[in-house]
Amino acid sequence: MDKRKKLGLDYENRKGKKMSKKLFSCLNGMCCKQKCNVVCSEETQKQIFKDFYLLGNSVAQDQVIMDGIQIMDKKRATKIFRREEPEKTHNRQITVKYYLNLNGNRQEICKKMFQNTYGISRGKVDVMILKKMSSATGISSTTGKGAHKPHNFNIDIRTRILNHIKSFPLQESHYARKRTSRLYLSSSLNISKMYDLYKDYCHQHGFKDESSYWLYRTVFSETGLKFKLPYVDTCKTCDEFKIKSKHVFDEELQILNQKNQDHINMVELAYNSKKEDKVLLTTTPSLKVIVFDLQQCLPTPDLKTNIVFYKRQLWTYNETIRDLSKNESYCYMWHEAIAGRGSIEVASILYKFIQGKIDNNITHLITYSDTCSGQNRNINVALMFMFALQNHPSLQIVDQKFLVPGHTHLECDSDHSRIERCKKQSESTISIPNDWYNFVRNVRGKIPLKVIEMEQIDFKSFSSLLSGPLVKRALDTDKEKINWLKMTWIRYDKTFGIIQFKYTLNKEAPFRILDLRKGAIRTRNRAELTSGVSNIRLPQTYNGPLSIYSEKKKDLISLLPLLDPIYHQFYKDLKTNTRAAMIQQSDEESSSED
């Protein structure tokens, strides 16, 4: 904002109001008795105006204005009497003259032309007069913003605030743990709520509350912690454009605008693709279109007491599939002691849906989802679709399409919002994961939510196919490197081991081919290969309850006095492991999803 303002460009002020750019306007006719517009031509005024704002520095600009002002004692003593308020008089103490530098000479002009040439207001001129009068040297000083003594706070208070912030359980990034070590607080928290809890903490422990909200916020910002965002995310590309467009000009701005337009075109192409596929449903009975997404983790137990904010809770998961063909929603639910929440789980749920919910008259399945590579766009899900095609009696083609990151609104997101909204309005207590299952079943709406409880036997290891008839490859059939992160359209058909893909949703663009078949298998005929795949029995991913880390179980046990005794044994039976071992295990799972 400040940079654009100093350059005379349009900008947005701190209140969000759009301020127009500075425009040069020539004075029409004679501006004064001195005939200033004759002394200084319009072209000269324009050049001075342009050079003034190209300085782009408020101190330099102020100095130019101050250099053009000459302050002198008044020559005559005059008094101006106000007719309405005769007791008040205005005594002018000084005389001010205004100058422009023309060809190395100072040319006196009137105040009106001085303001007009620099594009400044009368108020700005008055401020510069006061600055020049207060300056012994006539040199413009800095603005003085932020020139205050450093705040001194009791170190004990800052330490107490920091310890309180650290008392809240932290979460790691599920999607980018290998790229960042940033830690997150629960999305149900915010700084205002944490500050209120801090005041309660001080009251309970007998501390004198001497810290303000501002100090609490300052200490919090120094920790580098962030609040975990809900699933309604903004677009990173759009946000970057909004910021960068305020600070680049000319050719750079044109390039930036073109990139933004390309991004908008991709977004529109994705939404139009989904819209067209939904229209096809009305005329194509053999087509099915679904959207799917994983809901934000559901904390268990979910209690009303404030102490829960300080405790690590068990996560309950909900993968929702909206069948746009029948306008039905299916919530596949489980908890973290049963399975994780990666590509293995998503692939297994989609396989269960295909096997149980796709009728024998369906030949073409189209799916839409976000671009999360750890869950939706990876080799495990691809292996599942290829395997499912060989084991479904009528399905011939599966098209997997992805929306643009930041613009991934799906119909199942409204199901998640409905669940969260109902929970906020409900007085019911969630003690164990089964309570979440029953709660979701009873959520009201035009489209009922059908809950399917997942068991460990439902989670299959599709990656085992890579040690059998298929092999993982990094090059397509044209020997070009593939990039899973750029794929926006993946197609599978009855030819087992063949993946067709594009980096665009443009129907006219050709598919590239990724052949995962081993050399010897490529020579087999299709019927023989299909028969062999149909006889494959996939192993289970898990063979027993998963462990949670010991610190989490300790927190869960501490919450037992707030739960009905009939639920205590569920938490006592949870297996544990060290945090380091859990992270290593999770990283290994993430590696297998790449």
> Nearest Cα to 379, choosing from 290, 495, 501?
501
Reading the chain (594 residues) residue by residue, the pLDDT tens digits are: 577 888 888 888 777 788 888 888 877 666 777 778 778 888 888 889 988 888 888 888 889 999 999 988 887 766 666 666 666 555 677 889 999 988 888 888 888 888 888 889 999 999 998 888 888 777 776 666 655 555 666 788 888 999 999 888 887 654 444 445 567 887 778 898 899 899 888 888 888 766 788 889 989 998 888 886 544 456 888 888 888 888 888 888 899 999 999 999 999 999 999 999 999 999 999 999 999 999 989 999 998 888 888 899 999 999 999 999 999 999 999 999 999 999 999 999 999 999 999 999 999 999 999 988 889 999 999 999 999 999 999 999 999 999 998 888 899 999 999 999 899 888 888 999 999 999 999 998 889 999 999 999 999 999 999 988 899 999 999 999 999 999 999 999 999 999 999 999 999 999 999 999 987 555 555 555 565 677 789 999 999 999 999 999 999 999 999 999 999 999 999 999 875 455 444 544 444 444
Is residue 419 located within the same domain as residue 350?
yes
Residue 141 lies in a domain: no
DSSP per-residue string spanning 495-559: STTEEEEESS--TTSPPEEEE-B-HHHHTS-HHHHHHHHHT--PPBS-SSPPPEEHHHHHHHHHT
Residue 572 lies in a domain: yes
Residue 149 lies in a domain: no
| Residue 296 CA: distances (Å) to CA of 188, 321, 404, 518 | 11, 14, 20, 39
Virtual CA dihedral for 412, 414, 415, 418, nearest 10 degrees?
A: 170
Judge contact between 202 and 215, C-beta under 8 A. Answer: no
- Supply 304's token pair: 């009303």
Residue 32 lies in a domain: yes
- Supply 482's token pair: 């593939």
Is residue 204 located within the same domain as residue 284?
no
Judge contact between 583 and 174, C-beta under 8 A. Answer: no
Is residue 199 located within the same domain as residue 269?
no
Is residue 365 located within the same domain as residue 397?
yes
| Residue 416 CA: distances (Å) to CA of 155, 233, 449 | 44, 14, 10
pLDDT given for residue 415 in this prediction: 94
Distance, in Å, from the CA atom of 560 to the CA atom of 311, rounded to the nearest integer, reads: 12
Residue 501 lies in a domain: yes
Is residue 71 located within the same domain as residue 100?
yes
Is residue 359 located within the same domain as residue 475?
yes
* H and E: helices and strands count for the chain: 20, 22
Residue 42 lies in a domain: yes
Is residue 116 located within the same domain as residue 173?
no
Is residue 377 located within the same domain as residue 462?
yes
Domain-ending residue, one of 227, 258, 280: 227
Q: Is 332 helix (H, G, I), strand (E, B) or coil?
A: strand
Q: How many domains does the chain have?
A: 3
Is residue 162 located within the same domain as residue 129?
no
Residue 322: strand pairing partners: 291, 329
pLDDT single digits (tens) 460-496: 999 999 988 899 999 999 999 999 999 999 999 999 9
Strands 18-19 and 105-109: unpaired
Is residue 513 located within the same domain as residue 420?
yes
Extended strands (E) in 261-353: 287-294, 298-300, 314-323, 328-335
Residue 217: domain span:
155-227
Residue 210 lies in a domain: yes
Distance, in Å, from the CA atom of 390 to the CA atom of 530, rounded to the nearest integer, reads: 6
Distance, in Å, from the CA atom of 133 to the CA atom of 523, rounded to the nearest integer, reads: 93
Distance, in Å, from the CA atom of 248 to the CA atom of 571, rounded to the nearest integer, reads: 57
For the sheet with 105-109, list strands across it: 69-73, 94-102, 105-109
H helices present in 224-330, as ranges: 236-244, 250-280
Residue 320: strand pairing partners: 293, 331
pLDDT given for residue 183 in this prediction: 79
pLDDT given for residue 587 in this prediction: 45
Is residue 130 located within the same domain as residue 159?
no
DSSP per-residue string spanning 462-479: GGGGGGTTB---SB-TTS
Residue 124 lies in a domain: yes
Q: Which residue has the tokens 């998961």?
A: 317
pTM above 0.75, yes or no: no
Is residue 400 located within the same domain as residue 489?
yes
Distance, in Å, from the CA atom of 256 to the CA atom of 320, rounded to the nearest integer, reads: 37
Residue type, 25: S
pLDDT given for residue 458 in this prediction: 97
Domain-ending residue, one of 100, 134, 168: 134
Domain-ending residue, one of 134, 166, 181: 134
